[in-house]
Homo-oligomer: A and B are copies of this chain.
């Protein structure tokens, strides 16, 4: 999708905008950029870690109270069929950041599924991130929170288009220094894990005081908004929570009826409220698009300290919908009108959507897997996304086309002796009728099975995988 060919129109638009600026009364209605006269839109992605489809009020949780997210959904678009690019951290984040399936960048591996502190790899420099796309349009860019796309200096956010970074470069359960018993996880203390907090490229705290993570990430985000309220900005706020070990600040201790997990999610909800309130107070609400979602489904093997995928099947690590469908809200007052969107969307679509909104060119030298969702956001048009590919590592396990999802392979995660099962014919589920993937209807729809099989074969034949980044260790 080369945007370059629209260059003439873009220049024309700049001229029109500048002419309009001459007549301007000086009142900033749509926050025109004083330097260029071009209207701009800020972007904030609020990305949770291991939050399940069913873990917030408006998506059906009975005891986790999320008034801010519920309100955000009531003012914006609640997306009920929104997928992430993979069912575990690293590849999911690589997909979001590049708009490309993580196998393309080498950020998916079937055995070592995410990056670890001993990993020598990361998101390759030649990948183009959302931040790099937006830098072309002079956005101020910040990554706040969990990165997990490479913690060696050459892979840090600051090398991938972000002006600023503050956070833990990988998961908060890595670098464990305490024992292996379950109390380490279920009655956690920050010093059981030796995870660092980086500011830009320097370690500023180790071990991280995890109790204050959500609060500090929120404060960093608010500070960045205030500092850059004049300009276009992009903030990628990737909470470490509610990934185990679960931490929340004192104010949220014992607050939720859902226990520790609920406390943690309710603090994330508080964080969302603080950020939206800041945008309103700064007069930025109408020119900021905020997207709330998570990286993958709930970590079910942690029982009460893992989340809930609601009515969806299974969770984190799996290609069942519970692993990859996330509770998602788009908020952009004045432009997005309240709606429930049942069409498909994906974190893969954020890059082309943001690029489309701000008129940044998309790379035309590589395949992208995302779609521009502007039509849905602005006019509630049908989503351009009609297909979703479900990978486990480098293998294609399932494909959704329209309302039907075919599973060619299924495999349970975090289960001892779980068997990888190949299905021929594939299992077929009508997800709009049967969101819980209970009723295999392959026998009733042989044509649809054949169509999806053909799509899968075409896709696999055309796929060029990137050089693996996950199974390389730092030399000793």
Contacts and interface: CB of A to CB of B under 8 A. Distances in A.
A308 B259 contact: no
B432 A311 contact: no
B59 A434 contact: no
Contacts of A433: 63, 258-259, 261-262, 304
A57 interface: yes
Contacts of A403: 257
- Counting chain B CB atoms within 10 Å of each CB, which of A60, A63, A80, A257 scores highest? A60
A21 interface: no
Contacts of A254: none
Contacts of A436: 308
A185 B419 CA distance: 37
Interface string A340-384: 101000000000000000000000000000000000000000000
A61 B53 CA distance: 11
Contacts of A435: 61-63, 308
Interface in A264-318: 303-304, 308-311
Range, interface on chain A: 20 to 34
Nearest to A52: B311
A38 interface: no
Interface string A247-263: 00000000001110110
Contacts of A311: 54, 60-62, 308-311
A342 B432 contact: no
A65 interface: yes
A63 B78 CA distance: 12
5 contacts: A54-B310, A62-B81, A63-B342, A258-B433, A304-B434
A244 to B, nearest CB: 14
Contacts of A261: 433
A430 interface: yes
A236 to B, nearest CB: 26
Q: How many chain copies does the complex carry?
A: 2
A438 interface: yes
Given A340-B57, A342-B257, A438 B63 contact: no
A292 B342 CA distance: 25
Interface in A438-463: 438-439
A184 interface: no
Interface of A: 54, 57-63, 65, 74, 80-81, 257-259, 261-262, 303-304, 308-311, 340, 342, 403, 430, 432-436, 438-439
Contact of A60 (B74, B310, B342): B310
A280 to B, nearest CB: 20
A65 B310 contact: no
B65 A304 contact: no
Nearest to A60: B60
A98 B282 CA distance: 56
The 4 A-B pairs with the shortest beta carbon distances in the complex, nearest first, are: A60-B60, A62-B80, A257-B432, A304-B433
Given A54-B311, A65-B342, A304-B434, 19 more contacts: A54-B60, A57-B340, A60-B60, A60-B61, A61-B311, A62-B80, A62-B81, A62-B342, A63-B81, A74-B74, A257-B342, A258-B432, A259-B433, A262-B433, A303-B434, A308-B311, A310-B310, A310-B311, A311-B311
Contacts of A342: 62-63, 65, 257
A439 B303 contact: yes
B63 A60 contact: no
A300 to B, nearest CB: 9
Contacts of A61: 60, 311, 435
Nearest to A66: B340
A259 B439 CA distance: 14
Nearest to A56: B60
Nearest to A438: B303
A340 B438 contact: no
A309 B81 CA distance: 19
B439 A304 contact: yes
Contacts of A258: 432-433
Contacts of A259: 430, 432-433
Contacts of A54: 60, 310-311
A432 B80 contact: no
Contacts of A65: 340, 342
A304 B430 contact: yes
Nearest to A261: B433
A248 to B, nearest CB: 15
A310 B436 CA distance: 9
Nearest to A310: B311
